[in-house]
Structure 1
Amino acid sequence: MKILTGNKTFRPVSRLFSVNLDNSITRRRNWFDVSPPKRPTGNETITVSTYNLLSQQYMWPEVYNHIPSKYTSWQYRLPLINRNLMDLSRLADIMCFQEMEFNVYQETWKPLLKDHGFDSIFQKKRPPTYWTKSEDQLDGVSIFVNSNKFDLLSYEPVDYSEHFQNPEYFTPTQDLRERAMTRNTVALIATVRHKRTGTIIFVTNTHLYWSPEFPDVKVLQAYLLVRLLKRTMRNHYKVNDNQLSEIMRQGQASVLLVGDFNSTPDSMVYEFLQNGSLNIAKDTRFNYDYGKLEGAILKTGLLEFESQYKSLVHSSEFQCREHSQPFKRFIDYIWVNKYSKTLTPIRVLGDIDIDYVDEFSWFPNESYPSDHLPMLAQFGIK
């Protein structure tokens, strides 16, 4: 028996993941060409995904009390998440996860996906002051890489708070200590090589600070991530800043910035990454003292990015969608650097089909185990 799901044909998963077959990643969802549509000259493609799993430790009753308890229980959600991960492993070559619990990663997801050809890396959060459980129950971010297609050359774990204390990057102001250094936000920066083409791709996965009351902190985290990413790239190519800029200008480097940025398309983070700069001196949302920060204008330095869902944000197809994450509020992104000549955007996986909207009035629910949907983008690779 074969199950046709979206544009892929899958075999049924084992009984270990026995849930309804309606729960696949692409069911009720359609693929959309990027705008303008681009096609690679060859037939080699890779697919990248991002997915916030909604850690069981964050299922606070005061937040999710409107949802039947059956659908918020870990006993119900775990098999659905397992099925999602299995489906993603057949669709994606690079998978990025947020709110992945460390002990479940170690005991279940790491060995499971290793058996299906994926190497993985993980960065766990530091325990917050209120934490009373085991540190192994903390969540973090992870990157899974298809070892049949990619070599995982190196990676760097990132704890933003530690780098905020580095005087090379920041002035230790009171605002920085009180607003930014106390957050336990993390990221990963990985360097991978495509086996067939030899293409080097720098992949980052992050989950920026969640609170809407801290847009400035999210910008600082994005700014820091880009600086650390550039350091990783300089070290890989063994070049200085000017030489790296030339490599970027010629389109020889490819960068994927992936994750839950907790930032909508009208946010400072989006503007910073999309435009390559942000004038914090003129932005009233950035009304805090963080020292000089390389001047009043934060810059990415030739690392301007293009969100692969940009063409859908304001389209008529999605304007009326108010039923689910991520399309109720775009906060999850798959960014690629604009100057890349080795990664050609092809298509992205869209929202749940409009015909099924009334079926899902809350998330998580009987078919979807998280309050986010997995997002996927496909690229041609040279």
Structure 2
Amino acid sequence: MNEPSLMGYPGMNPNIISGINTSTNTTTNTTNNNANNNNGPGTPVSALHLNQLMAGLGPPGLSHENNNNNNANHLANNSRQLLEQLAQNNVPTSTTPVPNNNNANTNNMINANTVGNDSNHNTPMLNNNVALQPMNINAGNPLFHPHLEDTALLNNTVWKMQLQLASVSMHSMGQPNVYARQNAMKKYLANQSQNPQQPQMTEASLSLVDKTQKLLMEFAGADTSKENPKNPNNNNANNNNTTSNSNDTSMMTASTPTPMATGNNSALSTPTTPQVELNNNQREQMSPNVLLQHKKLSQFSIDDDDELNPTSDKKNKDGQLWHALDLSNLQLINLDSNIFKYKFLTRLYLNGNGLTQLPKEIKNLKNLRVLDLSHNRLTSLPSELGSCFQLKYLYFFDNMISTLPWELGSLFNLQFLGCEGNPLEKELLKIFTEKSVTGLIFYLRDNRPEVPLLHDREFIEINTDGEPQAKFETLKEANSVLDSELSKKSFTILSYNTLCQHYATPKMYRYTQSWALSWDYRREKLKQQILSYDCDVLSLQEVEAQTYEEYWVPILEKHGYSGNFHAKTRAKTMQGKDSKKVDGCCIFFKKDKFKLISKDALDFSGAWMKHKKFQRTEDYLNRAMNKDNVALYLKLQHIHSGEIVWVVTTHLHWDPKFNDVKTFQVGVLLDHMESLLKEDNPKRDTKKSPLLICGDFNSYPDSAVYELFSTGSVKNHMEDNTRDFGYMSQKQFNHHLALNSCYSCIGELPFTNFTPSFTDVIDYIWFSTHSLRVRGLLGEVDEDYANKFVGFPNDKFPSDHIPLIARVEFMRGNSGSRKV
């Protein structure tokens, strides 16, 4: 079946949208007799025209060239009529559905004086000469409009903005595809403007989102003519819509931290976000106004804004020609779940319908930036909406929503929340009006009831053929039934990026509860987690030098471990306490299981400059030389078997723009490993040397790094082949070690790094296949549990990475060593 296209296009899947009020069918399905329209019968002229103009929309698969030509034809044929309609705020009679006045529960009513009857169909129709005048049956109800009861709210900056934008939203009632219409005018004005970068917009062409951006900038005391070039015509703004910079001082306060909520929704506590977190966020924004919530988003722009430039390669990297879906004011009472298969959507407009619930499938739209649910009959928002962490503008004016799900605390990008016209709980309203949307989101985040982890990560036993054999609820349970012979010739190894405390800032992890992000809490949780696995070898990354010395060494020595640490290269350029704040990699091993034979450390850039085949290439000097990543090598002897094993840990450069540097770093790491093995035993085949390489490689399973480890060279990654690292590139980074990922026998985990913007596998344990074999693996995080969060760390997982654990067995007689 072909992918369903956008509403109004031929080939549209009829199951996409269901529940259209039958009283409006005669108006919304009027046959088009326009000779210039080639879209076939049954397609509404205005709706189709406007939908195509909206952000360059077209059905999936339509070529850019054809889409642009169609848009140009429609624009030429209908632009003048469209301008007149929008300028006068009129709606074409033949295509306008009228809200149903017979439903007593709806908040959205049409003035009876503006409606006549169609004698042919007994369908309410708009009078051609009278503009639509929406009303709200709860207009005088203080539960829905709290400023009627508490007039002090009329002087509250946050609530002023609510009222202004709620009024803007109400005036769009009754206009089908209102956002598409407004965008059509913006596109027309942009095409007519002598300066396409600064089109002269009119008030009629500005959408609710545009006006929200404009008000945010005005309230922040910013010059929108400079900050927002798309809307420079600020003189059109009503002077009453601006406020002085003397905002309520209550908006700038935050309460003292309190214990985590117990989950009793009826007893809402005060916000628990520490004063320092709100203050830090305000300082970062270079503005005293709480409405400037994110420095990164201070211009209140929408990422991937495709409205005026739909063919931009940068903004359409997913291959889609459109990213917005406008279903506003169409009398929908149900939504089919197929809508939520459009995972590329950044804007979804569902305002002005009869929806009573928002399907939980909304969680699939993780790219959403704008969601308008205003003027429906919603009584609640689904908890799954918290998964749409990229939301910046969420409107649900004039519904019947009284509370908010705790999961909305994950909407850390939210800039505006339109909630006026709802009977919102007074406690939530108080937090919102005093601390704006930032304080409200922090409150929901920090007071979210505990989510129980019902199932721990299973430990999967692997047989000698490399196939899964049995599953145990925990590693401890698997150890309790371990065969004595296997126990003598095997050991367990853990690899874990522990998230250095200097990187775990509130700015970087805004979705994590503040108390769960604190270093005191995370450090204790890390200790409990690592000790509970009781592994024989621990390979840790992102460990601060001071934390290693003052925390990990004392604790792990008490549990029978000995350790070694190597800091990143920058520590050498620092003195005293500053050098102790640099992170690095460390390896601990149980002293009753292993004996340390030798150790070595490697600075990738510095070591390569001393290599006998080093060449000063431009790519090395400009891209690799200034990266200070390191590796640590330990040569250990297994006491029970007498076998020798090399254990290596590393943490490669993080930036995806430098994938070639990561490949270079692995090439240096393996080249040095081969040198150490040849020095240790020149006559021995390096492939037969027991070897484990652990770490955070910041590389996908389809990366050049993975290919280099698993195949011995890099051949299929052209991006890396175009870079010149001298001898390393000439030999295609190849090595002579037989390596494979420990998890290859069951498949890599769904993720090893879990954050809102990045969830994938980047951590590995590599083993030498000629001398070792995997006999057990720690499995994935419970999927049901993970789906309730947008990322780690949280109260159960203290890092944004998860630990990897493998049980490794020596294959008899390969090391040539003797028992000690």
- TM-score category by the smaller chain? 0.7 to 0.9
Paired residue for 1:255, among 680, 684, 691?
A: 691
- Equivalent pair of 2:613/2:727 in contact (CA under 8 Å): no
Paired residue for 1:310, among 729, 739, 744?
A: 744
- 2:800 aligned partner: 371
Could you list the runs of 4 or more consecutive aligned residues of structure 1 that deviate by over 4 angstroms after TM superposition? 38-41, 128-133
Q: Distance in 1 between matches of 2:602 and 2:647?
A: 13
- 1:11 aligned partner: none
Q: Any unmatched runs of 5+ in structure 1?
A: 1-21
Bigger shift: 98-107 or 41-50?
41-50
Q: Distance in 2 between matches of 1:224 and 1:329?
A: 25
Bigger shift: 185-194 or 284-293?
284-293
Q: 1:38 to 1:195 in 2, by over 3 A?
A: farther
Counterparts of residues 125-140 of structure 1 (less than 5 Å): 125-127=568-570, 134-140=578-584
Q: Distance in 2 between matches of 1:228 and 1:160?
A: 10
Counterparts of residues 153-302 of structure 1 (less than 5 Å): 153-237=597-681, 239=682, 243-245=683-685, 248=687, 251=688, 253-279=689-715, 283-293=718-728, 295-301=730-736
- Does 1:29 pair with 2:457? yes
- Equivalent pair of 2:664/2:733 in contact (CA under 8 Å): no
TM superposition shift of 1:207 = 0.4
- Does 1:335 pair with 2:769? no
- Equivalent pair of 1:271/1:277 in contact (CA under 8 Å): yes
Q: Deviations over 1:120-170 (max 9, x none)?
A: 000011338999971101110000011101101110011112112124242
TM superposition shift of 1:347 = 1.5
Q: Distance in 2 between matches of 1:51 and 1:23?
A: 23
- Equivalent pair of 2:494/2:803 in contact (CA under 8 Å): yes
Q: Distance in 2 between matches of 1:192 and 1:155?
A: 9
- 1:72 aligned partner: 517
1:244 is aligned with what amino acid?
R
Q: Distance in 1 between matches of 2:761 and 2:741?
A: 11
- 1:108 aligned partner: 551
- Does 1:347 pair with 2:776? yes
1:324 is aligned with what amino acid?
F
- 1:7 aligned partner: none
Q: Secondary structure at the match of 2:515?
A: helix
Q: Distance in 2 between matches of 1:328 and 1:108?
A: 30
Q: Deviations over 1:250-297 (max 9, x none)?
A: x3x2110111111110000000000011138x7233322212327342
- 2:785 aligned partner: 356
Q: Distance in 2 between matches of 1:233 and 1:334?
A: 19
- Equivalent pair of 1:23/1:368 in contact (CA under 8 Å): no
Q: Distance in 1 between matches of 2:731 and 2:570?
A: 33
Q: Deviations over 1:194-227 (max 9, x none)?
A: 1111100011100011111111111111111111
Q: Distance in 2 between matches of 1:364 and 1:234?
A: 42
Q: Distance in 2 between matches of 1:47 and 1:211?
A: 31
- Equivalent pair of 2:773/2:808 in contact (CA under 8 Å): yes
- Equivalent pair of 2:498/2:541 in contact (CA under 8 Å): yes
Q: Distance in 1 between matches of 2:616 and 2:553?
A: 38
- Equivalent pair of 1:121/1:144 in contact (CA under 8 Å): yes
- Equivalent pair of 1:77/1:369 in contact (CA under 8 Å): yes
1:231 is aligned with what amino acid?
S
TM-score with structure 1 setting the length: 0.81
Q: 1:130 to 1:198 in 2, by over 3 A?
A: closer
Q: 1:365 to 1:196 in 2, by over 3 A?
A: same
Q: Deviations over 1:216-240 (max 9, x none)?
A: 1111111111111111112222x1x
Higher strand share: 1
Q: Distance in 1 between matches of 2:762 and 2:634?
A: 22
Bigger relative contact order (CA 8 A; separation at least 6): 1
Identity of aligned residues (%): 30
Figure out how many residues of one structure are paired with residues of the other and give that number: 341
TM superposition shift of 1:358 = 3.5
Q: Distance in 1 between matches of 2:648 and 2:621?
A: 25
Q: Distance in 2 between matches of 1:357 and 1:293?
A: 40
Q: 1:144 to 1:68 in 2, by over 3 A?
A: same
Report the aligned-residue RMSD.
2.9
Q: Distance in 2 between matches of 1:130 and 1:364?
A: 31
- Does 1:83 pair with 2:528? yes
- Equivalent pair of 1:313/1:330 in contact (CA under 8 Å): no
Q: Distance in 2 between matches of 1:31 and 1:191?
A: 27
Q: Distance in 1 between matches of 2:531 and 2:556?
A: 8
Q: 1:216 to 1:75 in 2, by over 3 A?
A: same
- Greater radius of gyration (CA): 2
Q: Distance in 2 between matches of 1:94 and 1:236?
A: 22
Q: 1:128 to 1:222 in 2, by over 3 A?
A: same
- Equivalent pair of 2:571/2:580 in contact (CA under 8 Å): no
Paired residue for 2:561, among 105, 118, 134?
A: 118
- Does 1:47 pair with 2:492? yes
Q: Distance in 2 between matches of 1:66 and 1:359?
A: 12
Q: Deviations over 1:34-57 (max 9, x none)?
A: 573289993222101100000011
Q: Any unmatched runs of 5+ in structure 2?
A: 1-450, 470-482, 813-820
Q: Secondary structure at the match of 1:351?
A: coil
- Equivalent pair of 2:571/2:579 in contact (CA under 8 Å): no
Q: Distance in 1 between matches of 2:641 and 2:680?
A: 18
Q: Distance in 1 between matches of 2:560 and 2:590?
A: 6
2:501 is aligned with what amino acid?
Q
Q: Distance in 2 between matches of 1:199 and 1:349?
A: 24
